[in-house]
Amino acid sequence: PGAADLKPCQEPLAAEDTAFISIQAFPALLDLPQDVEVSAVSCGSRHTAVITRGGELYTWGWGKYGQLGHEDDASSDQPRRVEHLVAEGLRAEEVVCGPWTTYVCVLE
Give the DSSP letter of residue 89: T
The predicted pLDDT at position 85 comes to 97
Model-level pTM?
Answer: 0.77
Q: Residue 16: its pLDDT value, please? A: 52
Splitting the chain (108 residues) into consecutive groups of 10 residues, what average pLDDT does each group show? 52 54 70 88 93 96 94 92 97 96 96
Determine what percent of the chain falls in helix, strand and coil, rounding each to the nearest 5: 10, 35, 60
**16 DSSP 8-state letter:** G
Q: Give SS3 for 84.
A: helix
d(Cα 39, Cα 51) in Å, to the nearest integer?
6
Position 67 scores a pLDDT of 96
